[in-house]
Amino acid sequence: MRSLRGGNVISFNGVWVSYSGSDRPAIRDVNLEIREGELVLITGPNGAGKTTLLETSLGLLKPFIGEVRLLGVRTSSRRVLAVRKYCSYVPQDFMKPPFETYTAMHVILLGFAPYKSIFEGTNGRDIERVEYTAELLDIESLLDKPIGTLSGGQQQRVMIARALARKPKLALFDEPFSSLDRESRMIVSTSLRRYVDEENATVVVVSHDVSPIVDLADTTVKMKDGRIEEVTHG
Ligand SMILES: Nc1ncnc2c1ncn2[C@@H]1O[C@H](COP(=O)(O)OP(=O)(O)O)[C@@H](O)[C@H]1O
Ligand SMILES: [Mg+2]
């Protein structure tokens, strides 16, 4: 992949986004630059615009004013589809129903699909990568279990493992701590920190509760009423 202009993985320049049918913009005049090798926490109360910010970063939502670049590419351009392959996104509501029979291992391996040609199967390196990531997130013992039979917190860790195993340049997580107990929160936040450091990748975490990760983040962005209220480094 070509190198990034100025090292920015995400950049927002005077961005306003609104949902169709709503007269109130969900984010307003947002300016933000997120760099390579950064762990970023986005926080703020319900309705602050955090999820909208994530989905606008990926180009799933388009601004009506301003410009967004993802890995150097304008999200209004068709080329955004090509760079989105290098990104992972775990949305807020991902729970799988109990009849979902794919094992956790299958679910994580599916994350490699965008990198492969249609006739290319799973190889030994893929399996090794899954096992490494599973160990990081302490889910080795869950790999052969059907995903639908796991608890909410276990499913959450499997989805995080899937997002990381495929080695994205950028991984976005919306409220990843919501169904986790204290110990799992710690495992997840240290795994994310380690991933950023090992791969020089960028991880963006949205969480209304800052306590599980604020001490590990390089940058904390506080949002309120669709605006960025404060950006803290270190
Ligand atoms: N699909 C939607 N349609 C209309 N309005 C929406 C939609 N999703 C979010 N909003 C509104 O956009 C604003 C920001 O929401 P959101 O980004 O989900 O906030 P957060 O993730 O911080 O809770 C809120 O006022 C919310 O009501
Ligand atoms: Mg949200």
- What's the CATH number where 54 sits? 3.40.50.300
Q: Which domain holds residue 203?
A: 5-100+168-233
Residue 39's nearest CA partner among 215, 196, 198 is: 196
Is the residue at 77 inside a domain?
Answer: yes
The Å distance, Cα 46 to ligand 2 centre, comes to 7
Is the residue at 224 inside a domain?
Answer: yes
**What share of the chain in percent tops pLDDT 90?**
86
Could you tell me the CA-to-CA distances from 11 to 27, 47, 57, 69, 120 in Å, in that order? 14, 22, 8, 5, 34
Output the pLDDT for position 2: 53
Q: Is 112:195 a contact under the CB 8 Å cutoff?
A: no
Q: Is it the case that residue 220 has pLDDT exceeding 60?
A: yes
Ligand whose nearest atom lies closest to the CA of 173? 2
Is the residue at 59 inside a domain?
Answer: yes
pTM for the full predicted model: 0.95
Is the residue at 134 inside a domain?
Answer: no
Is the residue at 218 inside a domain?
Answer: yes
- Mean pLDDT in residue range 146-165: 95
Is the residue at 71 inside a domain?
Answer: yes
Tally of CB atoms within 10 A around 64 = 9
Is the residue at 82 inside a domain?
Answer: yes
Tell me how far apart the alpha carbons of residues 69 and 10 are, in angstroms, rounded to a whole number. Answer: 6
Residue 75's nearest CA partner among 52, 59, 96 is: 59
Q: Which atom of ligand 1 is nearest to the CA of 48?
A: 22
The Å distance, Cα 223 to ligand 2 centre, comes to 11
Paired tokens of 117: 């040609």
50 lines ligand 1 (CB under 6 A): yes
β-sheet with 87-90: strand ranges across = 87-90, 170-174, 202-206, 39-43, 219-224, 227-233
48 lines ligand 1 (CB under 6 A): yes
Choose which residue among 20, 28, 52, 209 to substitute to test ligand 1 binding: the one with the highest number of ligand atoms within 8 A of its C-beta. Answer: 52
Output the pLDDT for position 6: 56
Ligand whose nearest atom lies closest to the CA of 226? 1
Listed in sequence order, the residues at least 6 apart from 123 whose beta carbon sits closer than 8 Å to its beta carbon are: none
| Domains contained in the chain, number | 1
φ/ψ bin of 233: left (φ > 0), alpha (ψ from -120 to 50), beta (otherwise): beta
The Å distance, Cα 3 to ligand 1 centre, comes to 33
Output the pLDDT for position 119: 83
30 lines ligand 1 (CB under 6 A): no
Q: What is the pLDDT of residues 60-90, one digit of tens each?
A: 999 999 999 999 999 999 999 999 999 999 9
Tally of CB atoms within 10 A around 82 = 12
